[in-house]
Structure 1
Amino acid sequence: MGAFERLLSVWVGAAILIGVLLGSVFPELFTLVAGLEWARVNLPVAVLIWLMIYPMMVQVDFSSMAEVGRNPRGLLLTLVINWLIKPFTMAALGVLFFKYVFAGWVEPETAESYIAGMILLGVAPCTAMVFVWSQLTRGDANYTLVQVSINDVIMIFAFAPIAGLLLGVTDIVVPWQTLLAATLLYVVLPLVAGVLTRYLVFHGNRTALGRFLAGCKPFSILGLLATVILLFGFQAERILAQPLAIVLIAIPLLLQTYGIFAFSYFLALRLRLRHQVAAPACMIATSNFFELAVAVAISLFGLHSGAALATVVGVLVEVPVMLSLVAFANRTRHWFTN
């Protein structure tokens, strides 16, 4: 890693401050950019995430896909954490903090709304940014693609029933446009572009492909920093107007994120997974599909509800926290046999 990459956490911290500053000084501009969306997926953010995902998709080699079937433990780890553990621990932490620990600071109705937002985050596993975290940990591109794809298929059938069970709501309407748009923008299109680049441009020339990927790396990092600036700029007014609410919601979300990752990483070690499979598997198990969670929160509870705010805090917490987990995973590579 170069000097710039080693200080990535510093640059992300600076990007957060820049985003909040610009969002508070130029709110109309960020409102305009926030309105550029399709099926509740923000298109400028989608382009930046696409910029980060594309280099990993170029690394996908379909001839190596059979290896996933021969070593399904990493896939099993992700699915068990995402669908049998994570939604329920998120709900439990929400109840613990907002009905008991923070009961003196939050009105009961507001507390219920915050818990609902946390639950929606917990039931929505990540589709897009996980490719970025996988790439930063030198994850297996083929395995990561399969993990994300199977998660997306399960989400179609499992999101509404699990969310409805935990929320006590039976008429949850899944925003299919958001789900399909995110899958198209974050998985299908970059995958097609990556495959075309790999097989039609480089024709299996690994040396030329390696040089190309090395040249893409600075653009991927700049895309990450620009994404952080936009996300924090979009929510600058909320952050400055409700700092206590942001902090209160962030505390259980942080505990959930670090706790789930620690448990997943421990299981990955016990299962003797390769690091390039274990790290992405744990990242997928930890991160959230925030576009879907925000869209459902707004449709169920309203744009200015506590549930919508909780899902937005999930967006703000995720990038810096996941980067810290990426750094940890890279520092502990030697814990694994490969």
Structure 2
Amino acid sequence: MSIFERYLTVWVFLCIVAGIALGHVWPGVFQIIGAAEIASINLAVALLVWFMLIPMLLKIDFAALGQVGRHWRGIGVTLFINWAVKPFSMAALAWFFIAWLFRPYLPGEQINSYIAGLIILAAAPCTAMVFVWSNLTKGEPHFTLSQVALNDVIMVVAFAPIVGLLLGLSAITVPWGTLVLSVILYIVIPVILAQVLRWRALARGGEAALARLLQVLSPLSLVALLTTLVLLFGFQGEQIIAQPMIIAMLAVPILIQVYLNAGLAYGLNRLVGEQHCVAGPSALIGASNFFELAVAAAISLFGFNSGAALATVVGVLVEVPVMLTVVWIVNGSRGWYERDNPRASPDVPAVSQAPTSTRS
């Protein structure tokens, strides 16, 4: 691991601070960048996501995706956490903290809106950023891609009913344009571009050419991640500065939910004997949220200045630093995970992947 990667948490913190400060000092610049949207998706952020994902997707050999069924236990655990646990656990946490414990300290007219925003946030599993977290845990890339694709398919049919059920609404307007375009921008296009680059590199010089290409492009992933943070926090800097105590209270159920679901997914994978390279991304997929869709849905349902929109913005605020701590826990506990767990041993054959993978 390079020095840059080793101190990634420090760079993330500095970028968050820089984004908030720049958004406060030059709000007009960020408003111009933020206005470049299609279906509530910011084009600058989408471009940066490509730079984040393409170097990691280059490592994936699609011919090996057929073997991902070996990790059916990990897929089952992640689906269970994402769709049977996370939205409902967040609803319970939101009602406990926002509707009861913190109620005296929050504006009464926004209580239900805050709860709605937290539920919307938890109902959409993360897509693009998961590839970053999986890469940092040396996760099995084919499992990660397959799991994300499966979640995207389920999200198209399950997002609205789950949110509608938990909000007590008879009908909910889902921003379908945002949902479909998000999948295209954050998954389909980067996958196609990465596979074209991979095919051309292999055709020109085999695995050696692919390794050289990865060496050049890999640093772009982290640079793009940090630049994305500056933009996201620049967009929301004014709200963060204006309402720090409310944001702190909204962050409590989000933090608990992340660690609860990550720990449950990680433990269940160990219980069923799944390999660590699958348990890591499974825990991270189970814990993280598709905050781009959540923000768009909250704004379309409750308005830009609503408590629901603010609650989803808090999800953006805590997502990266908290997920980095989950990455640290997953990496640091690998010895414990594989101890006295024969089926999870690295000696068990795993899904084949390109020799250039960073998996250890």
Give the Cα–Cα distance (whole angstroms) in 1 for the partners of residues 247 and 87 of structure 2: 21
1:291 corresponds to which residue? 292
Secondary structure of the corresponding residue to residue 160 of structure 1: helix
- Structure 1 residues 22-61: aligned runs within 5 Å: 22-61=22-61
Q: What is the CA-CA distance between 1:59 and the residue it aligns to?
A: 1.3
RMSD: 1.2
Secondary structure, aligned partner of 2:106: coil
Q: Give 1:214-293 correspondences, 5 Å limit.
A: 214-293=215-294
- 2:103 aligns with 103
Deviation, structure 1 residue 333: 2.5
CA shift at 1:200, angstroms? 2.4
Q: Tell me the CA shift for residue 36 of structure 1.
A: 1.0
The equivalences for 1:126-145 within 5 A come to: 126-145=126-145
Shift of 1:257: 0.7
Secondary structure of the 1:235 match is helix
Instruction: Tell me the equivalent position of 2:350.
Output: none
Q: Quick check: 221-230 or 197-206, which moved more?
A: 197-206
Other structure's SS at 1:104 match:
helix
Q: Name the CA distance, whole Å, in 2 between partners of 1:326 and 1:70.
A: 24
Q: Matches of 1:174 and 1:119 in 2, distance apart?
A: 14
Question: Contact (CA 8 Å) 2:71, 2:278: kept in 1 or not?
Answer: no
Q: Partner of 2:18 in structure 1? A: 18
CA distance in 2, matches of 1:125, 1:83: 9
Q: Which residue of the partner structure matches residue 189 of structure 1? A: 189
Distance 1:259 1:71 in 2: 23
Code of the aligned partner of 1:240:
I
Match of 1:207 in 2: 208
Q: For the Cα contact (< 8 Å) 2:87–2:122, is it kept in 1?
A: yes
**How far apart in 2 are the matches of 1:215 and 1:280?**
25
Residues matched between the structures, number: 338
Give the aligned partner of residue 342 of structure 2: none
Distance 1:124 1:21 in 2: 29
Letter in 2 for 1:325: V
SS in structure 2 of the partner of residue 170 of structure 1? coil
1:35 Cα deviation (Å)?
Answer: 0.8
- Please report how far the alpha carbon of residue 52 of structure 1 lies from its aligned counterpart in structure 2 after TM superposition: 0.8
Deviations 1:46-67 (A, max 9, x none): 1111111101211121221122
Question: d(CA) in 2 for partners of 1:276 and 1:54?
Answer: 20
Amino acid at match of 1:129: M
In the TM superposition, what is the alpha-carbon distance from 1:217 to its structure 2 partner? 2.2
**Structure 1 position 327 matched with structure 2 position 332:** no
1:117-170, CA deviations, whole angstroms, 9 ceiling, x for partnerless residues? Answer: 000011111111111111121212211111001101101111111100000112
Deviation at 1:30, TM superposition (A): 0.7
Q: Which amino acid aligns with 1:80?
A: F
Structure 2 distance, partners of 1:87, 1:76, is 17
Q: CA shift at 1:210, angstroms?
A: 2.2
Given that 1:124 and 1:288 are in contact with CA atoms closer than 8 Å, whether structure 2 keeps it comes out as: yes
Structure-2 separation of matches of 1:169 and 1:307 = 15
- The answer (yes or no) to whether the contact 1:164–1:170 under 8 Å persists in 2 is yes
Question: Is contact 1:232-1:316 (8 Å) kept?
Answer: yes
Aligned to 1:93: 93
What whole-Å deviation, never above 9, does each CA across 1:286-333 have from its counterpart, x for those lacking one?
111111111111111111000010011101110111111112222222
The CA deviation at 1:253 is: 0.6
TM-score when normalising by structure 1:
0.97
Percent identity of the aligned residues? 50
CA contact 1:127–1:182 (8 Å) conserved in 2: no
Q: Which residue of 1 aligns with 2:319?
A: 318
Identify the range of structure 1 (90-99 vs 31-40) with the bigger mean alpha-carbon deviation: 31-40
Distance 2:172 2:293 in 1: 13
Structure 1 stretches of 4+ with a deviation exceeding 4 A read: none
Name the CA distance, whole Å, in 2 between partners of 1:238 and 1:115. 18
TM-score by length of 2: 0.91
Inter-partner Cα distance in structure 1 for 2:212 and 2:272: 34
Q: Secondary structure of the residue that 1:169 maps to in structure 2? A: coil
C-alpha separation between the residues in 2 aligned to 1:128 and 1:305? 26
Q: Flag structure 2 segments of 5+ consecutive residues without an equivalent.
A: 339-344, 347-360
